[in-house]
Amino acid sequence: MFDTIFSGGTVYDGDGGAPQVQDIGVRDGKMAAIGDLANTAARQRINVAGLAVVPGFIDLHTHSDFTLVVDGRAQSQVHQGVTTEVVGQCGISCAPLKQRGGHNEMAAGHLPDAARGRQWQSFGDYLDLLAEEPLGVNVAAFVGHGTVHRAVLGDALHAGEPEDIAQMKRLVEQALVAAAAGLSTGLEYWPGILSSPEHLVPLCEAAAVRGRLYSTHVRNRDRHYDLGFGEAISAARQSGARLQISHMQTKYGAPAYAGEHTLELIEAARHHGVDIAFDVIPHDWNNTSVMAILPKWVREGGTRAALERLQDPAVRQKVKDNPAPMLLIVRDRHWREVVLLNARANRDLVGMDFAEIGRMRGVDPYDALMDMLIEEGDDAPRLMWATHSFSEDQVELFMKESECAVISDTAALAPDGALKDQLFSLSGYGWAARFLQHYVRDRQVLPLAEGIRRITSLPSDRLGLQDRGRLRVGNWADITVFDAAQIEPRFSVRQPRAYPGGIAHVMVNGALAMHEGQRTDNNAGRVLRDFKT
């Protein structure tokens, strides 16, 4: 007797091979049989003839650490077939903190108000708290260098002396022992922007000893792309860590050959034994915090100090004149390509571009964004924007590489409840559907079986999840069923909170999270703590 049988579906096992029409029997949360189960009893039999039956999607790069504490349902992810998220990316994690409940500014800037009363300090504390939540998805968590740095040094304008780095390494080691899946850095962000390889290699060594990934948002992906990617490769080479380069598509301002050159750098390093893989976001919009545009000297001392400085006209002019901001598209004043994504004090402006916002306010758009930061106050780190900084050619170039995973770079959200007013990226409600529809079905960059591998077994193998990411007897029953001809994203710049079409069923650890296109009340996700490479 099975708990559930999916019968007659077109089964893609996750390894990229040809599909087969088969049945899948689920018992006690795991796949117990795959084959012809027509004459086998089950408490529930679901006819999925004509539909693609695949491993649940594994999102290798998200920022849901903070939102899952508030609303663990992960509605925006479950509705598009995601069954596992990897949080703690770009150097930003919920832990460790300097003191219990003393959320550092990095965490507080991302935490929705409803989470700010929750208490944790160590990385293990955070995982234990998350494990108590009813989770719609499984969660693996990286420890962020930026969070570790702030736990030791706060918002001081320096990267740390050797004794500070030693203390950071101890915190990273403690997090890894507590089941962090790896270490991440965000070298375009505060405070990662302060660091150099000598500050990062010791932390990467802690990950390497345990076979965990080093995931990095590199320092630069535009004019100095080769220095940014080269630094990541150097840190992996010196430390022996396995490297995952996050959202590798180059940005506005990079030369046309930057993608090809980057692949050449990676291939040369692989030839000499460096383990490197990478991932891309399946669209040409980049999302980030508005505060990331500010030079590091403005950020010294924290958000309140930065906002105080921005009231000085001389400081504003220096910000405008900065020759090397994080986003060259902003430096070059392409304001129509810069859209407000998330705000609290200025919710009515979300979805507008900054050319529009500047006109409405009667000021230079640069002044408008600095005024808005001040208006947001302590919530300024939550002011988000999206910029049209990527090119389709670069996305497709990297996507064709066999070791390229596809990620969301988003946060798990919901259009109702405590997170209803939050946004993190334009494609947060439809990244997986856009990948499968736009790049796989319509543009045929990859065959469907290979596209499925990029969001199932490939990320599973990078993480060291031996019992997920493939449809295999004995694996946990994380299963997504969709209509390959009908799957489509439905989000837009003006209406980003729209679930995709084409998803029929989603199962997490043997429990149906979606059934016949509708979300159930089941939240059977788990905190993942076992990684073997």
For residues 453-471, give the mean pLDDT.
Answer: 97
For residues 511-531, give the mean pLDDT.
Answer: 98
Q: What is the pLDDT of residue 494?
A: 80
Q: What is the pLDDT of residue 398?
A: 98
| φ/ψ of residue 430, rounded to 5 | -160, 25
DSSP code of residue 116: T
Cβ atoms within 10 Å of 486's Cβ, excluding its own: 14
For residues 221-243, give the mean pLDDT.
Answer: 97
For residues 16-33, give the mean pLDDT.
Answer: 98
Strand partners, 501: 488
For residues 232-259, give the mean pLDDT.
Answer: 97
Q: What is the pLDDT of residue 20?
A: 98
What residues does each domain of the chain span?
Answer: 2-55+468-488+495-519, 57-284+390-463, 293-386
For residues 475-504, give the mean pLDDT.
Answer: 95
d(Cα 514, Cα 147) in Å, to the nearest integer? 35
In tens, the pLDDT along 191-221 reads 999 999 999 999 999 999 999 999 999 999 9
Q: What is the pLDDT of residue 5?
A: 98
pTM: 0.95
> Maximum distance among all alpha carbons in the chain?
78
Q: What is the pLDDT of residue 423?
A: 87
For residues 392-400, give the mean pLDDT.
Answer: 97
Q: What is the pLDDT of residue 495?
A: 87
For residues 97-104, give the mean pLDDT.
Answer: 68
Q: Which fold has domain 2-55+468-488+495-519?
A: Urease, subunit C; domain 1 (2.30.40)
The residue that leads in pLDDT, 117 or 367, is 367
Cβ atoms within 10 Å of 179's Cβ, excluding its own: 16
Percent share of the chain, pLDDT over 90: 89
DSSP string covering 261-302: HHHHHHHHHHHTT--EEEEE-SSS-EEEEGGGGS-HHHHTT-
Best CA proximity match to 122, nearest among 91, 104, 97, 140: 97
In tens, the pLDDT along 49-60 reads 999 999 999 999
Kindly tell me if the per-residue pLDDT of 147 is higher than 60. Answer: yes
Domain 57-284+390-463 has CATH 3.20.20.140: yes
DSSP string covering 9-49: EEE--SSS---EEEEEEEETTEEEEEE--TT--EEEEEE-T
User: What value does the mean pLDDT of the chain take?
Assistant: 94
Q: What is the pLDDT of residue 117?
A: 63
In tens, the pLDDT along 268-299 reads 999 999 999 999 999 999 999 999 999 999 99
Q: How confident is the model at residue 101 (pLDDT cuts 50, 70, 90)?
A: low
Q: How confident is the model at residue 533 (pLDDT cuts 50, 70, 90)?
A: confident
| Token digits of residue 497 | 């909170």
Q: What is the pLDDT of residue 515?
A: 98
For residues 306-325, give the mean pLDDT.
Answer: 95
For residues 162-183, give the mean pLDDT.
Answer: 98
